[in-house]
Structure 1
Amino acid sequence: MPAPTDIPAALRGGLFTLKQARSLGLSREVLRGRRFRRVLKEVFVLAEIPIGAELVARAALLRLPTGAVLSHLSAALLHRLPVADGRDAHVTLDDPAGSHRRAGVRIHRRRLLPGDKTHRRGLPVRLDRPARPELPGSEGSHRVRRDASLA
C-alpha cells in the first residue's frame, strides 16, 4: 500500500477547488479518500471541517462568476434572520441567461445595481430585501422558524 500523500499547507485552511488541489500535486483519487469531503462539484474541504450552510455558500461563490452575491435563504442566514438552514446555497447573478440550478446551488437572476450588495462575514450579500419570500406570512413562510429562540 502506498504511503499517504502529504496535504499541502495551502489546502489546510478551508475550501479549495479541484484546480487548486491539482496544481499542488493532488489527484482526484486522493481527493476521493477519507481525508477530504466534497462540498460542491469541484470544491473540497478537509474531512474534519464541518459542512454547514455558510461553508456551502462560500463554496458556491468559488464556482460562480465574479459578481455573484448570496441571496434569499443564504443572505437571510448571514443577516442572522431566523430561517431554516437549507442545504442549497442561494446566489443571485446579474446575468439573464444560463442555468438556474447547479448541484447544491440555486441561481437567481436579476439586474444588480451598485447599491444592491453589502458584505457579511467577508461574503458578498444581496442587500435589498434579504430572504423576503421566506418571511412570515408570505409564500415560503413554512421555512421560517416560528420561534427564534430555537435557533
Structure 2
Amino acid sequence: MVDRTSPQLREHVLFRGSEALAAGMVSRRALRSDRFRRLFRDVYTWSTVPVTHELRARAAAMALPRGVVITGRSAAAVRGAAICWPEDPVHVAVPLGMRVDRRTGLLVRRSDLTRDEFAPWEAGLLASPLRMCLDLLVGRPLPDAVADLDQVLRRRLVDRQALTAMLRNRSDNGIVVARQAEALAIGCSDSVPESQMRVHLVLAGLEPVPQHWIEVGGERIALVDLAFPERKLAVEYDGAWRNNEMWALNHDRTRLNQVQAAGWRVVFVTAQLLRTPTEMTNQIQSALAGRPATRIMEP
C-alpha cells in the first residue's frame, strides 16, 4: 500500500498535523513515516527540509498559544545573529497568568510584556529588539550574555544607546549582571567563542585586543581573534564555530608560519579548553610571562 499526500501539502514547509489530517492532505500512516519530521507537538516539516534554529522558532510559534513571544537568543537568530545551533532550545516569553505546558525544546521566561515589546511574526509574535536583548542578557552567565550581545551589536540589530537606557531603568532579577554584560560588549567579535574567551580574560585582569591585524613590513598578514601586541602573543579559537574561516590560523599553515617568523607566538584555545576557563586563563598568563604553555605553536 502506497501512502499518498496531497500536492497542496507540498506548498507548506511547516504544517499542523491535525489540520493536514482533517483536510485529507495526508494519511496518519504517512505522517508517522520518515517522510516527515515533527518539530513540536502537532507541528511537522518535510524530512528533506534543513532544520535551522529559525525554522524551529517558527514551529514553536505555530505550536504555542497566541500571546507567547519568541524572544532572547531565538529572536536574535531569527534576525540574523549567528548565535544558535539548530538544536538549541527556543527561547520564549510567556505572559504571567498564561498556562503553557512543559515542552521539550523550549526555554521559558515568564514575564509581563507591554504592547511595544513584540510584533506579529509568522504564526506568532516576535520580541522587539530591546525586549529581545533583555531576555538574552537576564539570568545568564556573564561570558555567554556578552558573547551573544556582541553578535547582536555586530549586526546592528539594536540601538546601543536605547539598550543602555532601558537596562538602566529596569529592576528585573539579574539586571545587574545584564548591565555588566552590556558594558563589556564591544560588537566586533567574529564569533561567540571569541567573545567568551575575551570576557574570561578581562575578568582575570587581562586586556586582550580583539580582532587584531598582525602586520609585517606594513603588510597585513593575519587577523587574529585576540592579541597582546606588546608581548607579540595571539590567542585563537580552534573549533568548529568560525565565521571568518579565511583568516583562521589553525587552517592556514602558511600564514601561521609568517606570524611565527615575525616573532609572534600563538595560543590555540580548543572548545574543551574553553569549557575550563581557569585553566585557559592560566595558560595564557603563563604565555604572557614567557613560560611554556600547552597548545602554543612554536616556530
TM over 0.5, yes or no?
Answer: yes
1:132 corresponds, among 124, 128, 137, to: 137
Identity of aligned residues (%): 23
Range that drifts further, 76-85 or 137-146? 137-146
- Rounded to whole Å, the distance in 2 between the matches of 1:6 and 1:108 is 38
1:111 is aligned to 112
Alpha carbons of structure 1 residues 19 and 13: separation in structure 2 relative to 1, 3 Å: same
Higher Cα radius of gyration: 2
TM-score (norm 1): 0.79
The CA RMSD measured in Å over matched residues stands at: 3.0
Q: Equivalences for 1:1-150 in 2 at 5 Å? A: 2-25=1-24, 26-85=26-85, 87=87, 88-96=89-97, 98-99=99-100, 101-118=102-119, 124-127=125-128, 128-130=131-133, 131-133=136-138, 138=142, 140-141=144-145, 144=148, 145-147=192-194, 150=242
Aligned residues: 149
What is the CA distance between 1:141 and its match in structure 2?
Answer: 4.1
- Rounded to whole Å, the distance in 1 between the matches of 2:122 and 2:62 is 16
The Cα offsets for residues 48-94 of structure 1, whole Å up to 9 and x where unpaired, read as 11111111111111111112211121012123334232522111121
What is the CA distance between 1:140 and its match in structure 2?
Answer: 3.7
The Cα offsets for residues 88-115 of structure 1, whole Å up to 9 and x where unpaired, read as 2111121335357312222221101011
Give the unaligned 5+ runs of structure 1: none
- Rounded to whole Å, the distance in 2 between the matches of 1:100 and 1:133 is 23
- Rounded to whole Å, the distance in 1 between the matches of 2:123 and 2:4 is 32
- Rounded to whole Å, the distance in 2 between the matches of 1:123 and 1:54 is 13
The Cα offsets for residues 24-63 of structure 1, whole Å up to 9 and x where unpaired, read as 2233321111221111121111121111111111111111
SS of residue in 1 equivalent to 2:193: coil
2:193 partner letter: R
Higher helix share: 2
SS of residue in 1 equivalent to 2:93: strand
2:3 partner letter: P
SS of residue in 2 equivalent to 1:62: helix
Residue pair 2:53, 2:84 contacting (<8 A) in 1 also:
no
Residue pair 1:117, 1:125 contacting (<8 A) in 2 also:
yes
SS of residue in 1 equivalent to 2:56: helix
- Rounded to whole Å, the distance in 2 between the matches of 1:103 and 1:117 is 24
Residue pair 1:134, 1:143 contacting (<8 A) in 2 also:
no
Residue pair 1:72, 1:133 contacting (<8 A) in 2 also:
no
Range that drifts further, 99-108 or 61-70? 99-108
What is the CA distance between 1:126 and its match in structure 2?
Answer: 1.6
